Amino acid sequence: MARHLLTGSELTRADLDALLRRAEQLKVAPHSSRALDGRTVALIFEKPSTRTRLSFEAGVVELAGHPMILHRGDLQLSRGESVADTARVLSRHVAAVGVRTGPDELLKELSAVAVVPVFNMLTAGHHPCQALADLMTLRERFGGLHGLRVAYVGDGNNVARSLALLGATAGVEVVVASPPGYTLNGGADRARLVEDPAEAVRGAHAVYTDVWVSMGDEATAEQRRGDLAAYRIDDALLDRAAPGAVAMHCLPAHVGEEITAAVLYGPREAIWDQAENRRHAQKALLEWLVSG
């Protein structure tokens, strides 16, 4: 049975601790592992990508492997070949398969048939690789994770869900503040849910947000901006958090909407470290996946 990472729930506390420690080692010595020497990793992108594409492609190369970048139009999937048959063929040629897509069902179908690891680079429901990088960044900033509190403000989306799930595994309290209609579900049992952003950030070591208008939300963009306007991270909101609190964002950012320029580019951000740490955390994940 191949190891898969579809939601992050596959990881125990011990697995997660080991992955984060390994990510820190790989950050110090980026070319120290040859876990993918002579092996190919298929990276399937059904959505545009900056951080995911850059971090996975560079990371596979640093692990001495070959990243095979594929778009849906490159595959017979676009002409009706089944997901199951695609999984069977991929399994004969590559060491692992990553997918950045919309529906979680595609990932589930692939993993049900593939005999090589399948991992989630982003779906509508989950973004576990981002959460791994987030936890790594928090460890760097605060020296550990247990007892930390992270406030997520805004739309209770896939980023919030993965942060709540993996945060709980790591011993981090996650508080999610959203207006009615945007409340986190399908993972809400791992987080504390509130409506007031000021309540959420009280005592928080990190204040986290994501875009208000994601890919696929364009038709309701103005409605979403109005509904979420009170959930912007600015200096005033960050001041309500614990002393030394940092701002976090998975990017891309829309300056003036979910976050101000003063916070995004200011002295209290950990955002650009998050973007870099995607590569290191994902390299540790790839090692774990292919090790069996």
Flag whether 4 is in a domain: no
User: What is the arithmetic mean of pLDDT over 163-184?
Assistant: 98
pLDDT, residue 286, reads 98
Same domain, 142 and 267: yes
Same domain, 249 and 141: yes
Flag whether 5 is in a domain: no
Could you read off the pLDDT of 125-153 as tens digits, one per residue?
A: 999 999 999 999 999 999 999 999 999 99
Asked whether the beta carbons of 44 and 70 are under 8 A apart, the reply is yes
Flag whether 268 is in a domain: yes
What mean pLDDT is reported for the chain? 97
Same domain, 176 and 263: yes
Same domain, 259 and 284: no
Same domain, 166 and 221: yes
pLDDT, residue 72, reads 86
Could you read off the pLDDT of 91-132 as tens digits, one per residue?
A: 999 999 999 999 999 999 999 999 999 999 999 999 999 999
Please count the structural domains in the chain.
2
Model confidence band, residue 54 (pLDDT cutoffs 50, 70, 90) = very high
Flag whether 7 is in a domain: no
Same domain, 49 and 97: yes
Flag whether 76 is in a domain: yes
> Secondary structure of the chain: what % helix, strand, coil (to 5)?
45, 15, 40
Same domain, 165 and 244: yes
pLDDT, residue 93, reads 98
Tell me the residue range of the domain where 112 lies: 13-127+278-291
**239-to-81, 111, 227, 262 alpha-carbon distances in Å:** 53, 44, 23, 13
Residue of 220, 251, 192 whose CA lies nearest to 54: 251
Asked whether the beta carbons of 99 and 120 are under 8 A apart, the reply is yes
Could you read off the pLDDT of 243-291 as tens digits, one per residue?
A: 999 999 999 999 999 999 999 999 999 999 999 999 999 999 999 999 9
DSSP 3-state of 157: coil
CATH number of domain containing 66: 3.40.50.1370
Backbone phi and psi for residue 69, each to the nearest 5 degrees, phi listed first: -85, 125
Same domain, 167 and 241: yes
pLDDT, residue 188, reads 82
| Model confidence at 186: pLDDT above 90 | no
Asked whether the beta carbons of 199 and 177 are under 8 A apart, the reply is yes
C-alpha–C-alpha distance, residues 146 and 160, integer Å: 19
| Model confidence at 215: pLDDT above 80 | no
Same domain, 138 and 266: yes
Q: What is the pTM of this model?
A: 0.97
As given in the structure block, the two tokens for residue 36 are: 């993918």
User: What is the arithmetic mean of pLDDT over 76-93?
Assistant: 96
| Model confidence at 217: pLDDT above 90 | no
Same domain, 99 and 136: no
pLDDT, residue 216, reads 79
Same domain, 95 and 144: no
Same domain, 42 and 143: no
pLDDT, residue 1, reads 84
Model confidence band, residue 227 (pLDDT cutoffs 50, 70, 90) = very high
Flag whether 6 is in a domain: no
Flag whether 8 is in a domain: no
Flag whether 228 is in a domain: yes
> Would you give the distance in Å from CA 227 to the centre of its chain?
24
